[in-house]
């Protein structure tokens, strides 16, 4: 049997604990009563996938959320805060384990993440571990929203 040389990690429920119900509650806390129509763990509006693929900006995402909710008064900050409620945190021991594994294996991060969550995660790493990014944990990182760079015209955004 060949030995393991490389390990590829994901963020969601591998490194970071996440909770989809917390996002649903955050939408409710903003007075959004129809979140079940556009957001769920198994099915959601295409705007969430477009954001993860880097096909739309965070501003276009917020505009779509305002449209879906019928709440034009929601700020980008309120929307981002609610969307970031998915993160519970890194469980005790995960960070230390990643540091140990990096010494023995080639470690990589491959995550279907979006620009809003990316910023949140990096702020969290700075607050909790005094790290500016993941370079101390992984040889290379791959984030879905940064792998695709598509220029969309306002007309093409209408489908979101």
Q: DSSP assignment, residue 42?
A: S
Q: How far apart are CA 93 and CA 72, in angstroms?
A: 42
Query: For residue 61, which of 81, 43, 76, 71 has the smallest C-alpha distance?
Result: 76
| Alpha-carbon distances, residue 51 vs 4, 43, 64 (angstroms) | 34, 15, 11
Catalytic positions: 10
Q: Where are the alpha helices (DSSP H) in 6-153?
A: 20-29, 35-38, 46-52, 58-69, 76-84, 94-104, 115-129, 144-147
- Count of alpha carbons within 13 angstroms of residue 24, beta-carbon side: 14
Tokens of 128: 């909790």
């Amino acid at each position: 049997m060949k030995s393991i040389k490389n390990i590829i990690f994901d963020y969601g429920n591998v490194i970071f604990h996440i909770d989809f119900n917390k996002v649903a509650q955050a939408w409710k806390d903003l007075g959004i009563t129809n979140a079940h129509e556009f957001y769920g763990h198994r099915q959601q509006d295409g705007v969430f996938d477009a954001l993860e693929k880097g096909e739309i900006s965070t501003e276009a995402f917020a505009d779509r959320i305002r449209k879906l909710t019928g709440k034009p008064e929601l700020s980008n900050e309120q929307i981002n805060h609610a969307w970031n409620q998915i993160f519970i945190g890194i469980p005790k021991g995960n960070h230390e384990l990643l540091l140990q594994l990096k010494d023995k294996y080639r470690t990589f991060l491959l995550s279907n993440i979006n620009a809003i969550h990316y910023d949140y995660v990096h702020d969290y790493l700075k607050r909790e571990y005094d790290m500016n990014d993941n370079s101390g944990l992984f040889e290379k990182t791959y984030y879905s929203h940064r792998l695709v760079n598509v220029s969309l015209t306002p007309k093409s955004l209408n489908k979101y």
